[in-house]
Amino acid sequence: MKKLSDELQKSYYILVFIFSFSCLGLLYIFASYMIKVSSADITTTNIFIDYELNEFTEKLEKNIPIDELFKGALEECPKIDNVFVIFTYQGKIYSNSEIYPKELQLKDQDEIQNIGFYDYQSLHRTIYINGIDPIDLKIIKDLKGDKLIFFRAIGIAGVWIVFTLVIGIYISKKFYNKFIPPLRNIQEITNKINLDSLDTDVKTENNFIEFISIIHSYKNMLSRLKKQTDAQIDFVNSASHELKTPIFIIGGYVDLIKRWGASDKNILMESLDSIEDETKNMSTLVTKLLFLAKDNKDSLDFQKIYVSNVIEEIIEHLKLIYPKQEINFSPNNAVIYSDPYLIKQLFLNLIENAVKYGLNNPIDISISQSNNITISIKDYGIGISKEDLEHIFDRFFRVDKARSRNMGSHGLGLSIVKNIIEVLKGDLEIKSELNKGTTVHVTLPFSLK
C-alpha cells in the first residue's frame, strides 16, 4: 500500500532529477562550446599564418630581412584573447606576446592537442620554405580563464540543485501537512458514522478546489444515504404494517375456528374463505414488495412483443375476476422489442387500477404509433385530486384508504408502474379529475437495444 507523502516526495525527487540532468546537460553544452571556440581560434590563426608565410619567398627575393618578415606576420595575425603565436627560427624566438607560456612541452604534429585538463590547447608544426631553414610554429590558446568560468558555473549549478532539492522537500512536506489533516478528519467522521448520524455535517478547512469538490460529493453521498436509509426504514415499517393486518385477521379467524368451527359449519366456511382471501392478499403484497426490492435492470429478457396480444390476455384474465366490467379495446399490429414480464406487469397494474376505481363504468384502451408507441387507458371513475396526484407514486399511498383496503389495494401498484417505466426507458403521463375519471398515457420505445 502506497503512502501519499512518499508519492509526493518521489514526484519532487523526479522533478529535481530532471532539473539536475538539464543543468548538467547545459554545462556539457557550455564546455563543448568553449572547446569548439578555442579550436576555431587556433585554426583561424593557423590559416592566416599560412597565408602570410606563402609570401615569405617573394619578400625574401626583395631582400627584406627575415626579422621584419616574422614581425610583420605577427602584427597581421588576428588579435584573439589568450592566443599566443610563437615562431622559432635559427634559435631565435618571435612571439606576439612576451607572457606566453614558455614551459610547455609540445609535440610536433599538425593536429590541435590538449595540454593538462583543458589548461591549454595548442598546435605545433614545422614549416619548410625554400631558401631558408625550417621554421618552428607554435599556436597556443590559454583556457585557464574559460576553465575557471566553467567550474564556477558547476559550483553555482550544484548549489542551485541542492537548494532546489531542499525547497522541493520543504514544499512537499508543507503540501502534505495541508492535505492530510482534512483527510484524517473525513476518516474519523466516516469511522463514527452510523444510521443515526448520516446527517453529520462534514466541516473542514481547505483551500484546494479539488478537495472542496470531494467534500461536497461526500456530503451529497451522506445526504443520499440518509434519504435512502429513511426511505428503506419507512418502507419496512409500512410493509410491516400492511402485513400485520392480514396476519391479525387470519389469527382471529383461526381462533374463531378453534372455538366454534367444529360445531358451526357456516362459521367454519366463512373463516376458511376469509383466511383464503387474506392469504392471497398477503401473497400479492409479498410479490409486489419483492418486485420493488429487486433490481430489474440487469435481468431484462428482450423479445418480440405484440402489445395488443398482451393487453387482450390481461383483459381476459380480469374478466374472470370482474365479469361485469366493460373494457373497450381496438387491437392493432403494434410490435415492440422489450421484456414481456415487465410489459405484462405494467399494463396489468394500470388496467386493474382502472377497473378498481372506475365505479363499474366502461374503460377505453387505445394504441397509437409515431416515433414511439403510446397506450392510453381511460376510466370514468372516482378520479384523483390535484393534491393526491403528486403522491400517487409513493409506496403505500392510497387516495381513499378505507375503500382501497376493501378493494385489496396496498398502494404499491403505481410504485411498480413507475419502476417498470424507468427500467424500460418509457414515459408515463396521468391526467385526472375528481368524479370524472383518470386517463393514463404510457409511451414506450419500439426497442431498448
| Residue-wise DSSP of 152-221 | HHHHHHHHHHHHHHHHHHHHHHHHHHHHHHHHHHHHHHHHH--TTSTT---------HHHHHHHHHHHHH
Domains, the chain, with CATH or none: 4-151 (3.30.450), 209-292 (1.10.287.130), 295-444 (3.30.565.10)
Task: Point out the least confidently predicted range of 22-36, 136-150, 169-183, 407-421.
Answer: 407-421
DSSP 261: I
> Residue 327: what pLDDT?
92
Residue 311 has pLDDT above 70, yes or no: yes
90 pLDDT more than 60: yes
User: Which residue's entry shows cell 547545459?
Assistant: 26
71-85 residue pLDDT tens: 888 888 888 888 888
Distance CA 32, CA 45 (A): 20
Residues 203, 182: Cα–Cα separation, whole Å: 9
Instruction: Tell me: pLDDT of 49 over 80.
Output: yes
Q: How far is CA 136 from CA 11, 108, 239, in A?
A: 60, 9, 115
Q: What is the pLDDT of residue 54?
A: 81
The SS3 assignment for 124 reads: strand
Q: Indicate the residue type of 368.
A: S
User: Given this model, what pLDDT does residue 287 score?
Assistant: 65
For residue 319, pLDDT beyond 80: yes
Mean pLDDT of the chain: 78
When computed from its CA atoms, the radius of gyration of the chain, rounded to whole angstroms, is: 51
Contacts of 420 (CB under 8 A, 6+ apart): 296, 342, 345, 346
Residue 14 pLDDT more than 90?
no
Q: What is the mean pLDDT of residues 330-352?
A: 86
Which residues have CB under 8 Å from 30's CB, separation 6+? 150, 153
pLDDT at 367: 92
Mean pLDDT score, 181-210: 68
Q: Could you list the beta-strand ranges (E) of 20-148.
A: 83-89, 92-95, 109-115, 120-127, 135-142
- Rounded Cα distance, 338 and 449, in Å: 9
| pLDDT score of 405 | 43
Q: How confident is the model at residue 374 (pLDDT cuts 50, 70, 90)?
A: very high
DSSP state of 257: I
The answer to whether residue 448 scores a pLDDT higher than 80 is no
296-308 average pLDDT score = 76
**Per mean pLDDT, which range of 77-81, 242-246, 414-418 is the poorest?**
242-246
Segment among 112-116, 120-124, 136-140, 190-194 with least mean pLDDT: 190-194
CA dist 103 and 28 (Å) reads 30
- For 91-120, the pLDDT digits (tens) are 888 888 878 777 767 676 678 888 877 788
What integer is the mean pLDDT of 225-250? Answer: 67
* pLDDT: which is higher, 364 or 6: 364
For the segment 200-213, the average pLDDT, to the nearest whole number, is: 66
> pLDDT value at position 401?
44
pLDDT surpassing 80 at residue 36: yes
Handedness of CA 245, 246, 250, 256 (dihedral sign): positive
Residue 329's beta-bridge partner residues? 365
Report pTM: 0.42
Instruction: Write down the pLDDT at residue 403.
Output: 43
Q: Span 171-190, mean pLDDT? A: 74
pLDDT the model gives residue 408: 45
Return the higher-pLDDT residue of 188 and 311: 311
Which element (helix H / strand E) includes 370?
none
Task: For 299, list phi and psi in degrees, rounded to 5.
Answer: -130, 35
**Segment holding 401, helix H or strand E:** helix 401-406
The whole-number pLDDT of residue 9 equals 67
- The predicted-structure confidence for 344-369, as pLDDT tens digits, reads as follows 878 888 898 888 888 889 999 999 98
pLDDT (0 to 100) of residue 402 = 41
Read off the pLDDT of each residue in 165-184 and give the average, rounded to a whole number.
75
Residue 68: count other Cβ atoms within 10 Å of its Cβ: 10
Q: Cell digits for 239?
A: 410493509
Helix (H, G, I), strand (E, B) or coil at 351: helix
pLDDT tier at 404, thresholds 50, 70, 90: very low
